[in-house]
Every structure is written in structure tokens, then in C-alpha cells.
Amino acid sequence: MPHLTIGHGVVTPARLKNRFQRHVLTLSVAAASSVVAQGVWAQAPAAHHEHHHALNTMVVTAVPLSSPLTVETDPRIPRQPAPASDGADYLQTIPGFSAIRNGGTNGDPVFRGMFGSRLRVLTNGSQMLGACPARMDAPTSYISPENYDSLTVTKGPQSVLWGPGASAATVRFDRGPEEFDEAGVRVDGSVMLGTYGRFDRRIDAALGNKDGYLRITGNQSEANDYQDGDGNAVPSLWDKWNGDIALGWTPDNDTWLEVTAGRGDGEARYAGRGMDGSKFLRETVGIRFQRENLGEHWKRLEMQANYAYADHIMDNFTLRSPGSMDMG
């Protein structure tokens, strides 16, 4: 039988025939695969248009940014899920904020993981500090957001206008001057009812003319303990009230002098503490003066003086069984 020797192997005509048949089969399969692939790629755009999926609409509710470092909003605007019981409750609607909860109210605000002295909280330019070293009455515990005209959050320590120590942010709740073109009266109020005894009421009234005004704000918020899925009462009740009065003088558009006084109190049951807050007394007095457009190089002159007093009592017998951890 004739044969061909290549290198150290021997290739016979039969082996050449088998190899040729295998190569022809391989090329045929490759060509067929190429045709199928081209058909799939050709049909891909059509299939993409035929089988499209629409995503469900997602609604995000949050306070918009005024700038990358500043958030400004009106705390009187209705918010979800319910009106805030204190300053920390309202701040949670701003991205980046959370709160260390004690009970139904009086949480400790946290911004980007920082809280306490790293978060400076001001009301009308003054600082109201809590009385408890364990921060059971954070500064925001004494703030009713709906009693203020504006809320401004300045992120980080970029601004030194509001004092040192605000490495997290500076939070400012402010009331502005009343503006009357002629003698008149303005009244604004709201009432809310909810489950588990939630009952909020608020009033904001002012009277005056173009030369001055008298403004009175007041609110009360209360709620009972709520129940968990098994029907057990979870300590979370609170009853808080605040009242403030402001007397302002506005002889022209560039001058503003205001004297203010305020008082508030309340109580709250804490589920995560060994004691409850039976007293949150707040007393404040302040005077502020502002003069604008003084000259080409002096834009504004602003002066203010404030007095703040807090009397906070924590005990384990006023709102719970004495001398025990019983929350009932």
C-alpha cells in the first residue's frame, strides 16, 4: 500500500481522507454558526424595540438644595408623614440627617454621623443648650419648627459667621420682621388629629402697620403611647407647648429693632432610657437690631443679645412605676 512519511509519522491515503472529511465538517459548522450569529445580530435591534420594560415611577420627597453647601426651606410648609413634634423630627426630612431616638419625640439630630457639639443649632441667632449631660434634652427638643419662618442648614465648617465648633453643620431657625404696608391683622393657624391620641394645634398672629408690629406664636403637641404588632404599649407619649411674643419697630425698609420673649414646657416618656423627661422648661429673652445700606463699603450692621434658661428634670417615677424599669 502506498504511503507518505512525514517526520516520524506515517500518513496513509485513508488517514488523509479522514482528516479531509473532518476539516470539511469543521468549516461547515463554523460557517453555519456565523450565519446564525449574523441573523441574531440582525434581529437584535428589532427585538430590543419589541421587548421594552417601563420602570415604575419613583417619587422622592426632600428639601432641595439652595447651593452645594446650603439648604433653605420654610418649616411651616406641610411635610410627610406628619407635622414635626420638634426640631430633630423636622431635620430628618433633609438628606444627610438622622436622629438618635429616645421615644416619640426629643430625638438627638445626627448629620453625616456627627452630632452633639459638632452640630450647632441656633434659634433667631441665639444658642439654646440642653441641660442633660446625657443629651436626653437635645437643643432641638425646645424648638417647634412651625413657629419659625425659615430653616437654613449650612453644611460643614465653611462659614464662621455663626460661631466655632460646627464641624458637621450649622442649623438656623429664624423669624423675620413682619411687613405691613398699612394697619392690619394677620392670623395663621392649623390643627391636626391622628391615631394614638396625636393632637397638634398652632396659631401665629400679628398686628401692626408700616412702623411696627406685635406678633404672637403658640403651639401645643401631644400624643399617647403607640402599640406594637402584639398590642403591647410602647412608651412614647409626649405633651409639649411653646409660646413666644415679639414686638418690632420698622421705621423704614433698612431698619429693624425687635424685642422677643418666650416660654415652653413639656413631658415625654422614653422607651430606650431608664428615666423619662418630666420637665422641659424653656425661657428666652432677646433683643436684636439690624441696619442695612449704611454706605458703599458697609452693607449691614447687626447686633443682638439673648438670654436662655432651661430647667430639665429626668426621673423614673412621674411617668412610670417608681424605682423600677417598668414602662407600663
Got the DSSP string for 72-137?
Answer: EE-TTS--SSS--SSHHHHHTTSTTEEEE--BSS--EEEETTB-GGGEEEEETTEE---S-TT-SS
DSSP structure class, residue 156: T
Say what the pTM is: 0.76
Do residues 170 and 120 lie in contact, with contact meaning Cβ atoms separated by under 8 Å? yes
DSSP state of 14: H
The one-letter amino acid at 202: R
Burial 8-33 (b: 16+ CB within 10 A, else e): eeeeeeeeeeeeeeeeeeeeeeeeee
Find out whether 146 and 83 touch, Cβ atoms under 8 Å: yes
CA angle, 89 as apex, 83 and 94 as ends, to 5°? 100
Question: Do 216 and 244 touch, CB atoms closer than 8 A?
Answer: yes
pLDDT score, position 17: 52
Long-range contacts of range 162-168, CB-CB < 8 Å, 24 or more positions apart?
Answer: 162/120, 162/122, 162/125, 163/120, 163/127, 165/117, 165/118, 165/120, 166/118, 166/119, 166/120, 167/114, 167/118, 168/111, 168/112, 168/114, 168/115, 168/118, 168/119
Q: Note the pLDDT of residue 327.
A: 44
Residue 13 has a pLDDT of 52
Contact 74, 150 (CB under 8 A): yes
Residue at 122: amino acid letter = L
Q: Helix (H, G, I), strand (E, B), or coil: what is residue 261?
A: strand
Place of cell 413682619: 178
CA 180, CA 168: separation in Å to the nearest integer? Answer: 38
pLDDT given at position 323: 57
Contact 119, 125 (CB under 8 A): no
Question: What are the per-10-residue average pLDDT scores of the chain (328 residues)?
Answer: 45 52 52 48 51 79 77 84 85 89 88 90 90 89 92 87 86 93 92 92 95 95 91 91 96 94 94 89 95 87 94 91 55
Contact yes or no for 119/43 (Cβ under 8 A): no
SS3 269: coil
